[in-house]
Homo-oligomer: A and B are copies of this chain.
Amino acid sequence: MKFEAATIKDIAIALGLSTSTVSRALRDSHEISIATKQLVLEYATRINYHPNPIALSLKEKRSRSIGVIVAEIANSFFSQAINGIESVAKDKGYNVMISQTHESFDKEVMTLQYLASRSIDGLLISVSSGTENLDHLKALHERGFPIVFFDRIVEEIQTHKVMVDNFRGAYDATLHLINKGYKHIAVIAGPENLSISRERIAGYREALAHTRVKPGKALIKYSRYAGLQLQEVEQAVSQLLKLRPRPDAIFTASDKLTTNCMRVLKAKGIRIPQDIALVGFSNSDLIELLHPPLTVVRQPAFEMGQIATQLLLQLIESKKPVKEFERKILNTNLIVQASS
């Protein structure tokens, strides 16, 4: 099943010119006579000629495509971020290649190798919740390959990073719960190896530091798969419910964690917020339709995608090696609703 497009050679033969003349004419070089240029251009448009991007890639050593690695496309935050990524990339003539890790470290390594071997010009990545070892990223980075981290960043690697003020987002959410009079506030976060988990927990801790109640260790739960698996959320919630005094509020520190926590509480017949209040990070656009409407910390996902892509393209197109790296920190937005 072939599908052959017109090449520069076809034009050359048809017009009795050499390929290089045609090439130059198409590129509007000054060293081609206006008459020939017009002849070539006319014929080219007539047969609907388009330069073969693959040949161009080979020649120019760039593919004009970037890779994106995220945990799950079917996650509001990531799909919105990809939306932002795609908008900027397309605008600048770049293609977007997407891969998912499903929060698995092994898949991240495989997918990274796959993308890297597909000659992408750069990479946008929000690391998987299972990522502890960074060798795969470091190896690429050390060879000078352009990488930009967004959301789930990696501190050890020096490059552009785009994230939200996780500390502040968590602080605000927790403070909101405190102000509402909740006394025993638990938290369920992603895995401890992710910096966003640690930062969000730190924000939670800081907010509680102002109160008399010290956050006992039992109130802090980590979730290996960042809430992707319902079962681990269920386990965390069950453990929290056994505590005495029982927590009267839960702060969930990621998108899937929030909705799955809600799911678990509902399944257990626990009313929100009467029995337990719930506040969490989430970018779902259905939060106000939920029962109850959820108080959430919302991240500017679309913007994050846009900014990360701008930075990546800047990195890719820079002539000299970049040594100064940006660390963009966006603000979260606390949307207060009935769940707290």
Contact = CB atoms under 8 A, between A and B. Distances in A.
A117 interface: yes
Given A98-B86, A286-B290, A58 B55 contact: yes
Contact of A65 (B80, B97, B286): B97
Interface stretch (A29-37, A242-250, A311-319): A311-319
A76 interface: yes
Contact of A289 (B65, B90, B263): B263
A138 interface: no
Interface centre among A2, A111, A317 (most CB of B within 10 A): A2
Interface string A166-199: 0000000000000000000000000000000000
Given A1-B318, A72-B83, 20 more contacts: A1-B316, A1-B321, A1-B322, A50-B117, A53-B117, A54-B54, A54-B63, A55-B58, A65-B118, A73-B79, A73-B82, A74-B83, A79-B79, A83-B100, A86-B98, A95-B118, A96-B98, A266-B289, A289-B291, A290-B290
20 contacts: A1-B315, A1-B317, A1-B321, A1-B322, A2-B61, A54-B54, A54-B58, A65-B97, A65-B118, A82-B98, A86-B100, A95-B97, A96-B97, A98-B98, A263-B288, A286-B290, A289-B290, A289-B291, A290-B291, A291-B293
